[in-house]
Chain A
Amino acid sequence: MNPIRSTETDGALESDPNVGALVSAPEPQAPALIDQDDLTVGDVVATREFHLTRDSLVRYAGASGDFNPIHYRDDIAQSVGLPGVLAHGMLTMGIAVQSVVDWLGTSGQVLDYQVRFTRPVPVDPETGATIGVTAKIGVLDAAGARVDLTVTFDGSTVLGKAQVRVVFGAPSIAGASELSDV
């Protein structure tokens, strides 16, 4: 199977309230499972865009329990020297990895994920903020693959060393799997 997937911009899911302001939908889940042997270092496995609005931040605050007011009050954000309300770094991190989760489908699992927060993402009250994500195979080894993410806002990278470790194959009995540490 061709691991390279292009950005979908048909907006088919835009009206689905479950996915908020998603502007680029993933392709329908591929019936064939990903075979690690078909992958090559450098393959781009996902290119996505995600559109954040202030609503997205409120939703994430509630879901995560992070109620730091710099993520919903411009006056407080500005009082600590910020241009205005920022996206939670953990929201940007959580969204970016969805590119890999959607690519993997049921072919495997994300077992390690790390990022460095290098630049804030201001979210305009009217126009929001669009985050671009490119996921590329960085390493292939006995443990699986390392997928490297490039995450940008307004032409600049906002996450550094964004690396996702995936293992291929079905889970052993969930709740108590025996997958080795990566």
Chain B
Amino acid sequence: MNPGLQGRVFAPTAPYLVGREKVREFSRAVFATSALNFDLDAALSAGYSDLVAPPTFAVVVQESTLAQLLAEPDAGIDFTRVVHGDQRFSYTRPIVAGDELTATLTVASVKSLGGHSMVTAESTIVDSSGAHVVTAISTLVVRGDE
């Protein structure tokens, strides 16, 4: 992997509009049962502006930034050797339906460890007003030749 990637900041992704049915679909897929994820009245009466997305929903928005990273011509990342090492989501507020989210990827670090490489990708996700919603951080391990 190219160590020069460290510190690189990518172009913001196209805005992602969080749909109400997408929130329901994702919620079902992660076995969510909370009324906040499915029932608009319940979400409104709990003080949210619309259906609340589950905590890991941000991965849907983050995904396009990881695609940018893997497609970067000089990155030298072999997709078939990539293993997801760890993942974190740090929210300022939960994602709700109606949010229009834009993600900007920064390569926080590139490290080599015993033939493997580790890249930490930090995607900062903001709403249409530019306010921070969530930062999604993935560490990807790229296995070396065995």
Task: Check if A and B associate.
Answer: yes
* Interface of A toward B, CB cutoff 8 Å: 13, 18-20, 22, 25-26, 29, 50, 56, 59-60, 62-66, 80, 89-91, 93-95, 97-98, 101-102, 105-106, 109-117, 161, 164, 170-177, 179, 181-182
Contact assessment for B92 and A174 in the assembled complex, using a CB-CB cutoff below 8 Å: no
CB-CB under 8 A from B32, the residues of chain A are: 98, 101
Which residues of B87-117 have CB atoms within 8 Å of chain A's CB atoms? 87-94, 96, 98-99
Chain B positions within 8 Å of A, measured between CB atoms, are 22, 25-26, 28-36, 38, 46-50, 52, 54-56, 59-60, 63, 80, 83-94, 96, 98-99, 127, 129, 131, 137
When chains A and B are docked, how far (Å) is the Cα of A164 from the Cα of B55?
Answer: 10
**Chain A interface, DSSP helix/strand/loop, else mixed:** mixed
List, in ascending order, chain B residues with CB within 8 A of A171's CB: 46-48, 93-94
Which residues on the B side are within 8 Å of A117 (C-beta)?
A: 83-87
Contact partner of B89 (CB less than 8 A), chosen from A91, A113, A181, is A113
- Supply 20 further A-B pairs (C-beta < 8 A) apart from A20-B28, A91-B29, A117-B83: A19-B31, A62-B29, A64-B29, A64-B59, A65-B63, A89-B87, A90-B84, A94-B30, A94-B54, A94-B55, A97-B56, A101-B34, A106-B46, A110-B91, A110-B94, A112-B88, A113-B55, A114-B87, A179-B93, A181-B92
* CA–CA, A161 and B46, complex, Å: 30
Contacts of B55 in A (CB 8 A): 94, 97, 101, 110, 113, 164
Q: A116–B127 contact, CB under 8 A?
A: no
Please tell me which one of the listed residues A22, A89, A164, A179 contacts residue B84 in the complex, with CB atoms under 8 A apart: A89
